[in-house]
Amino acid sequence: MTTRIGILTAGSDCPGLNAAIRAIGKAAQNDSQTELIAFQDGFLGLIHDQSMQPALSGILTLGGTTLGTSREQPQRVSVKGQMQDLTDAAIATYRRHKLDVLICLGGVETQSTALHLSRNGLNVMTLPKGIDNDLVMTDTTIGYDTALSTATEAIDRLHSTAYSHHRIILVEILGRRCGWLTLGAGIAGGADVIILPEIPYDIERITAAIMERNEENKRFSIIAVSEGGISKDTVEFFERTKNVNHQVRKGAEAEQVDRQLNQIEGRMTGNTIFLANQLEKSTGLQTRITILGHLLRGGAPSATDRVLATDLGTACVRFLRQGHTGVMVGTQGGHIVPVPLDQVAGKYKIIAPDHPYIQSARQVGTNFGDEG
């Protein structure tokens, strides 16, 4: 009997997605009769029934996703500015294609959507992806290793110009809620200061660290700043504003303000520029900024990501044959394991303040803009 497997990539793209698509497709077709149906542009393809036959050959080394992607979720689709729940349309497509399973490659939001569809009666499995490495219940995610190398290379290159000109250079690295990429690249690239969303910074601490370097005749500094890096002052401001809003506003209005503030917190664009201006004033040193942005999502996957994607993709098919459904296929301590979606959905893998990486970085003199 033919197994009918639906597949899609959702959320942000990253290197290694094509390697995973190839692994799933080839493993499934090699071990039994399988029909692979790919949906284009994430869940939009499922909602609007836009399917295609995915290419499986010649894609192992390609960055991005050959299926296309989008951030839309069936339970919340913007139609002419109005949010609509199009879950029924997504389910109808699944049924029309007589799918046995839908495999979704995605990040935190995709896990939530997968759980939602699974609770609505579909067989869904997922793979963890994303350069942020912010999914829980998996040691790592597809794409993280490649982005880590790219960010590290950028820091390496910035070092030579920073020391030549005796400047402070801030390098902004993607990651709104979790700073894994900044932490990893900051350690690997030997950044002098690392700013993470998890550790609100104090401008005075950073200034002191830079001035101390200068006194030691180290006349340049590299600061790795997470996109979601946030100052203590800003955190306090948000807290105060939230309280004020709650005092003066009632019910739905207060909730809406809270939601907006949370959105701002998650999208602190311009923070690095603000920090750079502050530091130039407080240290009197020339300061420059490099925002790596979406460059970090580009390029061919690293060898490690290709291996990870191949391992996870083939394991996914194996677990499918064993009857697993409603799971994310992750890695834990070197083992590939199926994790129930409700243990993953909507959760971010926040870096603990005493994480071994942070401890090691502190031990080699890295400053986190805090009192630690």
Q: Which is nearer to ligand F6P, 59 or 291 (CB)?
A: 291
Q: Rounded to the nearest whole angstrom, what is the least distance from the CB of residue 172 to ligand F6P in the complex?
A: 11
Shortest Å distance, C-beta 78 to ligand F6P: 14
Among 3, 9, 12, 73, binds ligand F6P (CB under 6 A): 12
Residue number, 180 or 201, with CB nearest to ligand F6P:
180
Nearest partner of 313 among 11, 59, 105, judged by Cα: 105
Q: What is the rounded CA–CA span in Å between residue 245 and residue 75?
A: 29
Nearer to ligand F6P, 130 or 200 (CB): 130
Residue (of 72, 199, 75, 196) closest to 133 by Cα position: 196
Which position among 13, 132, 134, 145 bears the catalytic label? 132
Cβ 231 to ligand F6P shortest distance, Å: 18
CA distance 114 to 128: 12
Kindly determine how many residues on this chain lie close enough to bind ligand F6P according to the rule CB under 6 A: 10
Compute the least distance from the CB of residue 174 to ligand F6P, in Å: 3
Could you give the 3-state DSSP secondary structure of residue 94? helix
**Of residues 165-194, those binding ligand F6P (CB under 6 A):** 174-176
Question: Applying CB under 6 A, does 105 fall inside the site for ligand F6P?
Answer: no
As measured in angstroms, the least distance from the Cβ of 119 to ligand F6P is 24
CB 225 within 8 A of CB 173: yes
Is residue 107 near ligand F6P by the rule CB under 6 A? yes
Longest Cα–Cα distance in the chain: 74
Q: Which amino acid would we find at residue 34?
A: T
Say whether residue 131 binds ligand F6P (CB under 6 A).
yes
- Cβ neighbour number for residue 19 with a 10 Å cutoff: 24
Task: Please report whether residue 198 would count as binding ligand F6P according to CB under 6 A.
Answer: no
d(CA 361, CA 281): 27
Q: Which of 137, 80, 83 minimizes the C-alpha distance to 339?
A: 137
- Nearest residue to ligand F6P, by Cβ distance, number only: 174
Helix (H, G, I), strand (E, B) or coil at 225: strand
Decide whether 94 or 109 has the Cβ nearer to ligand F6P. Answer: 109
68 interacts with ligand F6P by CB under 6 A: no
Q: Does 132 qualify as catalytic in the annotation?
A: yes
109 binds ligand F6P (CB under 6 A): no
* Selected binder of ligand F6P within 41, 72, 132, 172 (CB under 6 A): 132
Q: Contact between 227 and ligand F6P (CB under 6 A)?
A: yes
Q: Using the minimum distance from each CB to ligand F6P, give the nearer residue, 291 or 337.
A: 291
Letter for the amino acid at 277?
Answer: N
Stretch that binds ligand F6P, among 130-138, 183-191, 308-316, 338-346 (CB under 6 A): 130-138
Show Cβ contacts of residue 96 under 8 Å, excluding neighbours closer than 6 positions.
49
Q: Looking at beta carbons only, is 93 or 149 nearer to ligand F6P?
A: 149
> End-to-end alpha-carbon separation of the chain, Å?
61
SS3 (DSSP) at 101: strand
Q: Left, alpha or beta for 287 (phi > 0: left; psi -120 to 50: alpha)?
A: beta
**Parallel/antiparallel/unpaired status of strands 287-291 and 168-173:** parallel
Check binding of 128 to ligand F6P (CB under 6 A). no
CB of 291 to ligand F6P, least distance (A): 12
130 sits near ligand F6P (criterion: CB under 6 A) = yes
What Cα–Cα distance (Å) separates residue 18 from each residue in 9, 36, 49, 111, 272?
9, 14, 21, 19, 33
To ligand F6P, the closest distance from the beta carbon of 225 in angstroms equals 13
Closer residue to ligand F6P, CB minimum distance, 197 or 369: 197
Q: Which parts of 201-312 are beta strand (E)?
A: 221-226, 287-291
Q: Among all residues, which ones are annotated catalytic?
A: 132
Q: What does the binding site for ligand F6P look like in residue numbers (CB under 6 A)? A: 12, 107, 130-132, 174-176, 227, 297
